[in-house]
Amino acid sequence: MTSFIAEIIDIRKETHDVKTFRLTKPGDFSFIAGQYCLVSFIGKPEFFEESRPFTFSNDPTQKDFIELTIKEMGDFTQELFKLKKGDKLKIDGPKGEALNFDESIKNIVFLAGGSGITPFISAIRYVISKNLPNKMILLFSNRTENDIIFKQELEKFNKNNNNIKIITTLTDEVPDRWKGETKRIDKEMIKKYVEEPKKWFWYICGPPPMIKAMENILSSLNVPKEKLKIEDWQIQGKSG
C-alpha cells in the first residue's frame, strides 16, 4: 500500500451522473481487480483531511495509468466533477479484499447494481486482455437505460467473447425498443441465465437492500456461503 500524487490526464463522461477519471501512477504501483483506493483533494481547505474510497475500474495490466469511475452522489463527488485535466489528487491504496478477482476461479457470476459495476468491469477487462479462459456472467441492474455505465463496451463483450455473457435489466423506465430484462434481479432471472447456480462462484456489489436480496435468493438456490464475495455501499462512493 502506498500514497502518491496523481495528475488527471483524461476525464470521460460515462452517463449523466458518472465520469471516469484517468490518473497518472508510479511505475511500481499495482492493484488487483476489485480493489479500491482512498482519494483526497489537494489545496481545498474545505475538504481538509477528508477522503473517499473509489474502486479501480481499468484493466490492472495497464502500465501507465489508473482509472476511477465515479458517480456524483454528494458534496465530495460534486467537487471532483469540477476538476479538469491537469488537476491533481492524492491517492492512497490499493485497499480491499472483499471483491478481489481470483483468476483461478473459472466460473463466475457478477451481480451488480448501478455503479457496483466498477470492480467487475475491471475484472472483465483483465480477463479479456490476458485472454484467460474464465467463464463470466454479469447480471447488471439499472433504473433506466441512461443509467447504464459502460453500455457500449458491455454490448461488445457480449458479441465478441464466447465466455462472457452480459444481461442488463431495467427496473424503472423501459423504452419500447428495449430487448433486455425489465425487472429487478430475482430467482427466476438467475435460474434463466445460470445453469446449476451452486457450481458457480458469486461476486455481488450494490446497495445494501440488493445485497440482502441476492444473499437470500442464492441461499434458496443452495449456493454455499463460501462461494460468495460481497461488497455493499455502506461507505458513500465505495463502489463507484
Asked if residue 102 is part of any domain, the answer here is: no
CA dist 17 → 9, 20, 101 (Å): 20, 11, 27
Angstrom distance (rounded) from CA 233 to CA 30: 24
Strand, helix or coil for residue 5? strand
Residue (of 216, 228, 19) closest to 115 by Cα position: 19
Asked if residue 87 is part of any domain, the answer here is: yes
> pLDDT averaged over consecutive 10-residue blocks of the chain (240 residues)?
93 98 96 97 92 97 96 95 98 95 96 95 97 97 97 94 96 93 97 96 94 96 96 51
Angstrom distance (rounded) from CA 139 to CA 204: 10
Residues 6+ apart with CB under 8 A from 188: none
- Which residue pairs from 186-193 have beta carbons closer than 8 angstroms and sit at least 24 positions apart in sequence? 186/217, 187/217, 187/220, 187/221, 189/139, 190/109, 190/139, 190/217, 190/218, 190/221, 191/221, 193/137, 193/139, 193/165, 193/167
The alpha carbon of 113 is separated from its chain's Cα centroid by a whole number of angstroms, namely 9
Which of 95, 122, 150 terminates a domain? The answer is: 95
Neighbour tally for 71: CB within 10 Å: 23
Angstrom distance (rounded) from CA 79 to CA 58: 22
Give the pLDDT score at 232.
Answer: 63
85 and 156 co-located in one domain: no
Domain hosting 17: range is 2-95
Give the pLDDT score at 1.
Answer: 63
Q: How many domains does the chain have?
A: 2
86 and 187 co-located in one domain: no
Range list of H helices, the chain: 75-80, 118-130, 151-160, 187-193, 208-220
31 and 136 co-located in one domain: no
111 and 221 co-located in one domain: yes
Residue 164 C-alpha cell reads as 462472457
Q: What pTM was computed for the model?
A: 0.93
Asked if residue 237 is part of any domain, the answer here is: no
51 and 115 co-located in one domain: no
Asked if residue 129 is part of any domain, the answer here is: yes
Q: What is the CATH number of the domain that holds 175?
A: 3.40.50.80
220 and 170 co-located in one domain: yes
Which of 70, 95, 120 terminates a domain? The answer is: 95
Residues 6+ apart with CB under 8 A from 54: 36, 37, 39, 68, 69, 70, 118, 237, 238, 240
Angstrom distance (rounded) from CA 3 to CA 83: 20
Residues 6+ apart with CB under 8 A from 220: 187
Angstrom distance (rounded) from CA 18 to CA 20: 7
Length reported for the chain: 240
Q: What is the CATH number of the domain that holds 43?
A: 2.40.30.10
73 and 190 co-located in one domain: no
71 and 45 co-located in one domain: yes
Where do we find the cell 455505465? 149
Give the pLDDT score at 231.
Answer: 80
82 and 112 co-located in one domain: no
Asked if residue 205 is part of any domain, the answer here is: yes
132 and 168 co-located in one domain: yes
60 and 117 co-located in one domain: no
Asked if residue 35 is part of any domain, the answer here is: yes
89 and 184 co-located in one domain: no
Which of 31, 64, 95 terminates a domain? The answer is: 95
Give the pLDDT score at 233.
Answer: 56
Residue (of 128, 107, 73, 98) closest to 205 by Cα position: 98
